[in-house]
Amino acid sequence: MTELLPTRATFAPGEPVEIEVRGAPVRVSLWRLDTCVAETDPDPATGRATFPPQPEGGYGVEGGGATSAVDVLADPLSRARYGFVSDYTAGRGADGVAENVRRLHLNAVQFYDWMYRHADLLPPQDDFVDALGRELSLDSVRRLAAAVRASGSLPLGYAAVYAAGRDEWPEWQDEGLYRANGEPWMLGDFLWNVDPGGERWRAHFAADLRASVEAVGFAGFHLDQYGAPKRALRASGEPVDLAERFPALIDHLAGELVGARLIFNNVNDFPTWATANACQAAIYIEVWSPHDTLRDVAWLVEKAHSYAPEQSVILAAYLSVFAKGDERAALDAQRLLLATAFTRGATVLLHGEDDSVLTEAYYVTHGRLSPPAQERTRRYYDFAVRYGDLLFDRGAVDVTTTFVGGVNEEVKIDAPAPVSHDGRPGSVWTTMLRLGGGTLVSLVNLADQDDDRWDAPKRPIGTLAGVRLSVERDAGARRFLFADPDDQVALLELPAEFDGRYDTVTLPPFTAWAIVWIPA
């Protein structure tokens, strides 16, 4: 069995594109949308197929019945794909993490809870015990960071922007955040919140981050908050508005840590409106109730893009369903979640370690995917990378409700289930985007679902057959190219029938998600 594995999560312009060919040597081809741009045979000595440098964009890789994808980006985080690690036990290997980074094209990796203490990140010696009693090794953190970098990805260290533990709290309590009744704001019973706008805290925090870059080799930091408080008081009685403090802190740290990539956690969308244009690498939103439905997920992405259209959007949407024993139902929930995010030009922080999926906010407690689930997951990431030029077009305009359904007659979709624009259960969820080079129609299959919650077990996703797409002709004949991540990965040109008004195509059967690309 052949496997095609890129040597890097993302390639830079001017850099040869290398594919490791595992199994029998096969001729490998490189595709840009529906065009084969290069073919080559692997080097017998290295087992690698090497292509010359390519222009920026997304590419498909095919050979021997296997597929993969690569993208070439000047800034990897312009199409951010975020993963995680959380195991830093002494002597742990890094090869599995590095392979998963390459296989899922994870171009940034969050090093969750790698530190000694929240207010003092670096330990007094390499082997240490963290704030929750875990025995960790700074040497393992360094080796993992080096492995992630060698795989073409960016290691980002976790750092809470305003947390002090029990031992550190006495030093910071005068700069703490308090409720109106005088009680300090805390996370659980072991972390106290400090005003992130305090000058002494900002100087300490920036120095701690700089030292961590030097000691570990981080490329930047994941800056965390806890979602509450949103407003608080200092010990002096001075009011603190966190929606003002957070963007000011991000910008301050960007100035102090020149070249570091920063990602700030907008917990449940707070305060994305204020931080979206701060000096950070991407907009990151941790999704919680009342954002319970797939439509809520789409809305969060659309809103974030309205604040800063050029920024990548990453959602942290933890699938607790993977911890409940029915991997099939959980995997179908994952397919629909990823389809929803990718369709709107966003990604989801969900996968990492060697083979794992996040099931809750404490990343140390994660689930593991079976080999078939890993393969299904890989296909969705490959699809998002291969068609990144379409899915992540920053100039895309959503014209669904202007062209499809209701009184609109320009585009018609006939399907064996109702067609919706809002992701309602029992429907075919349709999105139509006007891009610079044409039109992209996405179809997410909710026909078998009676529940639109993104973190809920899903009924088996059946095959949707007989879907017909009709587009009113306003100039010459159009081309219709179809693909889906589960079966028809490469773009397939569909024969169209013209009835004097509409060009109509019948889509091949598909399961969870399909796209139709109509070039201009």
Report pTM. Answer: 0.97
Q: Are residues 128 and 68 in the same domain?
A: no
Residue 35 domain boundaries: 3-72
Q: Are residues 129 and 27 in the same domain?
A: no
* Per-residue confidence (pLDDT) for residue 378, from 0 to 100: 98
**485 in Cβ contact with 376 (< 8 Å):** no
For the stretch 117-120, contacts whose Cβ atoms lie closer than 8 Å and that sit 24 or more positions apart, written own/partner, are 117/165, 117/167, 117/168, 118/160, 118/163, 118/164, 118/165, 118/168, 118/191, 119/163, 119/164, 119/165, 119/168, 119/171, 119/172, 119/194, 119/204, 119/208, 120/168, 120/208
pLDDT digits 0-9 by tens, 422-449: 999 999 999 999 998 999 999 999 999 9
pLDDT digits 0-9 by tens, 172-231: 999 999 999 999 999 999 999 999 999 999 999 999 999 999 999 999 999 999 999 999
Residue 480's contacts (CB-CB under 8 Å, 6 or more residues apart) are 469, 493, 494, 496, 503, 505, 516, 517, 518
Single out the residue in 72, 95, 113 at which a domain terminates.
Answer: 72
* Per-residue confidence (pLDDT) for residue 1, from 0 to 100: 86
Q: Are residues 21 and 100 in the same domain?
A: no
* Per-residue confidence (pLDDT) for residue 350, from 0 to 100: 98
pLDDT of 362 over the 90 cut: yes
pLDDT digits 0-9 by tens, 276-316: 999 999 999 999 999 999 999 999 999 999 999 999 999 99
**Is 185 contained in some domain?**
yes
* Per-residue confidence (pLDDT) for residue 485, from 0 to 100: 98
pLDDT digits 0-9 by tens, 234-280: 999 999 999 999 999 999 999 999 999 999 999 999 999 999 999 99
pLDDT of 476 over the 90 cut: no
Specify the number of domains making up the chain: 3
Q: Average the pLDDT over 63-71 and give the result.
A: 97
Q: Are residues 403 and 278 in the same domain?
A: no
Q: Are residues 133 and 266 in the same domain?
A: yes
Q: Average the pLDDT over 65-69 and give the result.
A: 97
pLDDT of 477 over the 90 cut: no
Beta strands in 74-174 (DSSP E): 82-85, 108-111, 127-129, 135-137, 154-160, 163-165
CATH of the domain at 31: 2.60.40.10
Q: Average the pLDDT over 362-384 and give the result.
A: 98
Instruction: Reduce the DSSP state of residue 159 to 3 states and report it.
Output: strand
**Is 376 contained in some domain?**
no
Q: Are residues 61 and 83 in the same domain?
A: no
Q: Are residues 57 and 80 in the same domain?
A: no
pLDDT of 475 over the 90 cut: no
**Is 60 contained in some domain?**
yes
